[in-house]
Amino acid sequence: MAKRIDDETMENVCILAKLSLKGGELDRAREEMQKMLDYVQKLEELDTENVPPLTHIFGDADVFREDIVRNSDTRDVILANAPKVKEGQFQVPKTVG
Amino acid sequence: MEEDAGKLIHDEWEDCSLVDYNRSGVPLIEIVSEPDMRSAEEVIAYLEKLRHLMQYLDVSDCKLQEGSMRADVNLSVRETGGSLGTRTEMKNLNSFKAISRAIENERERQIELLEQGKAVDQETRRWDDNKEYSYAMRSKEDAKDYRYFPDPDLPPVHVSDTWLLEIRKAQPELREEKQQRYQEEFGLPLYDAQLLTESRCFAALFEETAVLFGNAKKTANWFLVEVLRLMKEKGMEAEQVKFSPSHLAALLDMVEKKEVSPQNARKIFAEIFDRDAEPRSYAEKNGLMIVNDTGLLKDTVARIIDENPEAFAELVGGKDKVLGFFVGLIMKELKGRVNPADVRETLKKQIERRKTQETQEI
Amino acid sequence: MDLQALTALELADKIKKRQVSVLDGVKSVFEQIEKKESRVHAYLDIYKKEAYTRAKEVEKGIADDLYNSPLAGVPIAVKDNICVKAHPTTCASKILGDFIPPYNADVIDRLERAGMIIIGKTNMDEFAMGSTTETSAYGVTRNPHNPEHVPGGSSGGSCAAVAAGEAYLALGSDTGGSIRQPSAFCGVTGLKPTYGTVSRRGLIAYASSLDQIGPIGKNTADCAALLEVIAGHDPLDSTSLKRDDIQFSRENDRGIVGMKFGVPKEYLSEGLNPQTKAAFMEALKVLTGMGAIVEFFSMKTTEYMIPAYYIIASAEASSNLERFDGVKYGYRAAEYEDLHDMYRRTRTEGFGTEVKRRILLGSFVLSSGYYDAYYLKALKTKNLIKQEFDKAFADYDVLLSPTAPDTAPRLGESLKDPMAMYLGDIYTVAVNLCGLPAISVPCGKDDKGLPIGLQMIGDCFMENLSRQPAELPDFPALSAYLLRRLGGD
């Protein structure tokens, strides 16, 4: 059995995920996550002591390109997608108290 | 290494913030130090050193006000010999002065807490430089859990010894190396070498001028006196100084050949400093070149003496201090187009003559 | 002439020979859409007017030899997680409901340069998270073979469109089987290329280390031709490979005698539908009869593939989907108290249940205190899986398995038990973890008339099977060859 997801853990995960689940939705999400964690617990059976983590399948060659500044005149089309715009910038609720 | 995320502006009129993503994607290097520093002075010295290094390597102009260099300060206090205390992190530090003030302030705050028997919370604080005060950013959302993991979109970069060696070879002369060389080659004291190397482009300006003029020591003196004086007057930073090294070299050459007086040379240099004027044509156009007209000099000296009989009497009477007064008047009258030495020489001859006359009259 | 009976390559050939106009091809697709779309619902957006305008342009372009690709003039459907400039691209999510990309995905530019005609955007599981196309915020897609069943997912719309004749070809994306599984369920052919063969620029990311765009078509030759159009290096995708072996549609007639096929025996154990197993075993029998060597071997990491996959995919998803916060594009909650509340409400209202489930899991496995036990462990497991595949490819030219353990489930069945749905990805996920190419081709039907798929897995870069010492045929060509023998094509 994997670690039980207590209230505090679940609250923390919701903060990290930037989600506010309430009532039944929260309970169901916790239950499903618990099931999933219990299932993936299976990995503990594997001895990976001397196995390095594999992050990139083709990570051997360096991928570089020339450092060339390119400008594109797409400000208006980009801003057109924004829910709220002010003075050519994206408007958000105040970020500092 | 990371990419800049963007810039936040806090709207003054409306209760909102504005996000400008024009800066996103600009490369950023984050350097995390060990808890090695013990005072604000050490922190500033460390940051100054870093800034010079980055500037000399042409990585960044490192302007705190413009955000091209930023620092977050982690600080904890402890009793002498004790183990490190709980640290806080300070954000929103926009100048070296703010960093220094914030460190002092936070040190005092933590000591006060501990002396009251309270604990220091590990938290992120925001510095308000106007109020010289910091406050905790306490929301749960600010708790740090970045969930960093190897970015699948960015393949790893392999830094080989060969590559490192190539980079080292291509690396420009750094500030300390330059200072060392200036002391050895030009016989400058460390302090002068530090001033000249304050910024990479300032040092380059000095070196190019010195090469063109051919006398590094004299060039250095000019920079240390005249260039620094004008910078101070105009409130300029070293990297803002821009003029053609060939123009200053030409001017120094004219001084050397006694074609302009030191006084006029300063005047000409102000023009070079301000608008990169070509010194010879400027001097000629404005009548600042030295004229070798002994008749004119003699006549002027005689006239000035006649106009200031009392002062001259004092001079003849042995009051040497008055000599400077006369030299100044004459130089002014002739708009500096003569050598002060010539003026002095002519004046002395006149004094001798007057003395002889007086003796004869008695 | 019944244009519907033609493959994409045949249509393009007739267009080239002026036996058929580009407009005729486009018309045949829209006639089919008229007939079937109300029942299938393969599309989220249809570019009818634009497609006709474009058809005329392409007609002229072909005459002027501006477009000379083997697929010039062919109508194609595009999965709605691939950006098409100035057209909505929603990922079948409410959160991107009104998003209009300011640029084309690299593959879209390539389709246009090849003179292909985009018919519209296809339905999918929200953000490609799902196996049934039921997690779409814009309604389900039905399986053209049986409307009571799902088309599979997440590229269910693309596969259903091809199966229903509503497109000659389609683009899908495959993160853990999202091209192959719906291809199997819809009775079409779908290929997941070697990781990095097709640029991901403009593909809205789910899990960047696993995502790959690939072709879906009526047969392997069509898929090979489309892969040739979309493959190629893109300097703006750092994981894009510089491959020079991308002539996938090369003809081959090499015999199959002596070729070695490996079947992981763990793939045939519990959970495999007997009818699927029977169809698969029949295919093996045919291969053996043709002189191929078919062997069973043990793939010991099999039971760890899904755990490793879901940890890695969810972790990357939680990071990739952080960008949907109501600031730059898409949905923003109508009411909120402050910045963080705005993020939370926007995301809680904008994302569907399955997406939230994976973001939560991903956030958990990357969070401090759990990273090593879950995420790091999954990366190490991935290494062990890769090692086992490397070993298998030292012994075998191609690995074979059913594409999915079962045929398409009934609508509404899968979402009740997400765990059971995840287990259905058992044969497909390891291919993505290891960056391998794989193709799903039809190999029979069950008693309900639902298609069964056969999956062939190649070693990396084995879309071209040009391994030493023996010169082997192209992967799609090989599949085509096999299929002719299997009676599938």
pLDDT tens per residue across span B295-335 = 788 888 888 888 888 888 887 777 777 888 888 888 888 77
Task: Note whether B158 contacts A62, CB cutoff 8 Å.
Answer: yes
**Beta strand pairing call for C293-297 and C260-264:** parallel
- Helix ranges (H only) for C19-142 are 22-40, 48-63, 106-113
Nearest 5°: the CA angle C48, C54, C57 is 155
Rounded distance between C-alpha atoms, residue C151 and residue C158, angstroms: 9
d(CA C118, CA C116): 7
Res B350: pLDDT: 79
The Cα–Cα gap between C359 and C331 comes to: 18
C-beta atoms of A91 and B152 within 8 A: no
Contact C304 A42 (CB under 8 A): yes
Residues of B with Cβ-Cβ distance to A77 under 8 angstroms: none
d(CA C47, CA C118): 7
pLDDT value, residue C487:
40
Q: Please report, in tens digits, the pLDDT of each residue of chain C (489 residues total).
A: 789 999 999 999 999 999 999 999 999 999 999 999 999 999 999 999 999 999 999 999 999 999 999 999 999 999 999 999 999 999 999 999 999 999 999 999 999 999 999 999 999 999 999 999 999 999 999 999 999 999 999 999 999 999 999 999 999 999 999 999 999 999 999 999 999 999 999 999 999 999 999 999 998 889 989 999 999 999 999 999 998 777 776 655 555 777 889 999 999 987 899 999 999 998 888 888 878 899 999 999 999 999 999 999 999 999 999 999 999 999 999 999 999 999 999 999 999 999 999 999 999 999 999 999 999 999 999 999 999 999 999 999 889 999 999 999 999 999 888 888 999 999 999 999 999 999 998 888 999 999 999 998 987 755 544 332 233 334 455 555 555 544 444
Domains of chain C plus CATH, in order, are 3-230 (3.90.1300.10)
CB contact under 8 A, B145 and C368: yes
Give domain status of residue A75, yes or no. no
Rounded Cα–Cα distance for residues C258 and C269 (Å): 27
Residue A22 lies in a domain: yes
Q: Are C294 and C287 in contact (CB under 8 A)?
A: yes
* DSSP string of C370-408, one letter each residue: TIIIIIIHHHHHHHHHHHHHHHHHHH-SEEEEESSSS-P
Query: Which of B21, B149, B153 minimises the CB distance to C238?
Result: B153
Distance from the B210 Cα atom to the nearest Cα atom in chain A, whole angstroms? 34
Alpha-helical segments (H) within B197-339: 200-213, 216-222, 228-234, 245-256, 262-275, 279-285, 294-307, 309-316, 321-333
Q: Within a domain: residue A25?
A: yes
- Which chains lie within 8 Å of chain A at 3 or more CB pairs, if any? B, C
**Taking CA B17 as the corner, what is the angle to CA B16 and CA B23, rounded to the nearest 5 degrees?**
165
Reading the block at residue B354, the tokens are: 């007057």
DSSP 8-state secondary structure symbol assigned to residue C97: T
What's the one-letter identity of residue C481?
Y
Q: What is the DSSP string of B163-178?
A: HHHHHHHHPPPPHHHH
Yes or no, beta carbons of A43 and C348 under 8 Å apart: no
Q: Report yes or no on A29 lying in a domain.
A: yes
φ, ψ of residue C143 to 5 degrees: the values are -70, 120
Q: Copy the structure tokens of residue C480.
A: 């085509």
Residue C115 CB contacts under 8 Å (≥ 6 apart), including other chains: C58, C61, C62, C66, C67, C68, C69, C71, C72, C73
Chain C nearest-CA residue for A77: C102
Cβ pair B8, B19 in contact under 8 A: yes
Q: What is the Cα–Cα distance from B51 to B271, expressed in whole angstroms?
A: 31
Query: Which residues sit opposite A92 in a β-bridge?
Result: B17
- CB-based contacts of C13, cutoff 8 Å, min separation 6: C70
Cα C438 from chain centroid?
A: 10
**In the predicted model, is pLDDT for residue B137 greater than 80?**
yes
How far, in Å, are B31, B40, B129, B176 from residue B46 at the CA level?
12, 10, 21, 14
Please list the alpha-helical segments (H only) found in B9-117. Answer: 40-56, 96-115
C328 near A CB under 8 A = yes
Residues of A in contact with C98 (CB under 8 A): 81
Distance between alpha carbon C110 and the CA centroid of its chain, in Å?
A: 18
Whole-prediction pTM: 0.86
**B18, B133, B140: which to substitute to probe chain A, counting the most A Cβ within 10 Å?**
B18
- Please provide residue B74's backbone torsions phi and psi, each rounded to the nearest 5 degrees: -100, 130
User: Chain C residues with CB inside 8 Å of A44's CB?
Assistant: 377
Domains of chain B, first to last: 31-142 (no CATH), 170-285 (no CATH), 294-361 (1.10.10.410)
Alpha-carbon distances of B186 from B194, B199, B227, C351, rounded to whole Å: 13, 18, 18, 70
Beta-carbon separation of B152 and C366 below 8 A = no
User: Which of helix, strand or coil describes residue C189?
Assistant: strand
**Residue C309 token pair:** 């996959």
| Residue C322 identity (one-letter amino acid) | E
On whether the CB atoms of residues C177 and C428 are closer than 8 A, the answer is: yes
| Helix B245-256 and helix B262-275, axial crossing angle in degrees, nearest 10 | 170
Radius of gyration of chain C (CA): 21
| Residues of B in Cβ contact (< 8 Å) with A97 | 135, 137
State the catalytic residue, choosing from C14, C36, C79, C382.
Answer: C79
Tokens for B233, please give them: 């007057």
C427, C402 contact by CB (below 8 A): yes
Over range B42-48, report the average pLDDT. Answer: 96
Closest CA to C431 of C195, C232, C270: C195
Which chains, if any, share at least 3 CB pairs under 8 A with chain B? Answer: A, C
Question: Confidence class of residue B231 from pLDDT cuts 50, 70 and 90?
Answer: very high
User: C-side interface with B, Cβ within 8 Å?
Assistant: 205, 207-209, 238-239, 315-316, 318-319, 327-328, 339-340, 363, 366-368, 371, 375
Percent of chain A exceeding pLDDT 70 equals: 97
CB pairs under 8 A between A and B: 60
User: C159 near C418, Cβ under 8 Å?
Assistant: no
Question: Is B257 exposed, middle or buried, given 0-12, 13-18 or 19+ CB atoms closer than 10 A?
Answer: exposed
Burial annotation B191-227 (CB, 10 A radius, 16+ → b, else e):
ebbebbbbbbebbebbbbbbebbeebeebbebbbebb
Rounded Cα–Cα distance for residues C358 and A19 (Å): 12
Buried b (16+ CB within 10 A) or exposed e, C152-183: bbbbbbbbbbbbbbbbbbbbbbbbbbbbbbbb
**Residue C178 annotated among the catalytic residues of the structure:** yes
Contacts of A56 in chain B (CB under 8 A): 150, 152, 155-156
Kindly determine whether residue C238 and residue B155, on different chains, have CB atoms separated by under 8 Å.
Answer: yes
pLDDT score recorded for residue C473: 38
Residue B8 has its nearest CB partner, among A15, A62, A95, at A95
Q: Tell me which of A13, A57, A62 to substitute to probe the interface with B (most B C-beta atoms closer than 10 Å).
A: A62
The answer to whether residues C211 and C196 touch, using CB atoms and an 8 Å cutoff, is no
Query: What count of other Cβ atoms lies within 10 Å of the Cβ of residue B307?
Result: 11
* Residues B158, A63: Cα–Cα separation, whole Å: 10
Tell me which residues of chain C, numbers 417 to 476, contact chain A at a CB-CB cutoff of 8 Å: 418-419, 434-435, 460
Mean of all residue pLDDT scores within chain B:
89
Q: How far is B240 from chain C (nearest CA, A)?
A: 37
Q: List chain B residues with CB under 8 Å of A87.
A: 18
- Spatial contact of B42 and B96, defined as CB atoms under 8 Å apart: no
ipTM score assigned to the predicted complex: 0.96
Q: What is the rounded distance in angstroms from the CA atom of residue C11 to the CA atom of residue C19?
A: 9
Contact C239, A58 (CB under 8 A): yes
State pLDDT tens for residues A57-95.
Answer: 998 889 998 888 888 888 999 999 999 999 999 999 988
**What does residue B89 show for φ and ψ, rounded to 5 degrees?**
-115, 130
- Nearest of C94, C159, C21 to residue C334 by alpha carbon: C94
Spatial CB neighbours of C308, under 8 Å, sequence gap ≥ 6: A43, C378, C381, C382, C385, C433
Amino acid C169 reads L
Which pLDDT belongs to residue B38?
Answer: 94
- Within a domain: A63: no
Q: Judge: B154–C238 Cβ closer than 8 Å, yes or no.
A: yes
Best to test chain A binding among C90, C194, C340, C361 (most A CBs inside 10 Å): C361
Task: Determine the pLDDT at residue B347.
Answer: 81
Nearest to A94 among B16, B137, B150 (CB): B16
* A–C CB contacts, 8 A cutoff, strictly below: 154
Q: Which residues contact C292 (CB under 8 A, 6 or more apart)?
A: C256, C257, C258, C259, C260, C261
Catalytic residue among C178, C199, C249, C479: C178
Output phi, psi for B151, to 5 deg.
-70, 115
Q: Pairing state of beta strands C75-79 and C169-173?
A: parallel
Contacts of A38 in chain C (CB under 8 A): none
**pLDDT for res C474:** 41
- Considering the domain boundaries, does residue A49 fall inside one? no
Token readout for C315 is 């972790």
**If you average pLDDT over residues B259-263, what whole number do you get?**
86
Tally of structural domains, chain A: 1
Rounded Cα distance between B142 and B287, Å, is: 69
Residue contact B141–A15, C-beta within 8 A: yes
Give the residues across from C10 on adjacent strands.
Answer: none
Q: Who wins on pLDDT, B339 or B126?
A: B126
What is the predicted pLDDT for the residue at C291? 81
As a whole number of Å, the CA-based R_g of chain B is 31
Query: Residues of A at the B interface (Cβ-Cβ below 8 Å)?
Result: 12, 15-16, 53, 55-56, 58-59, 61-63, 86-87, 89-97
Distance CA(C344)–CA(C332), nearest Å, equals 10
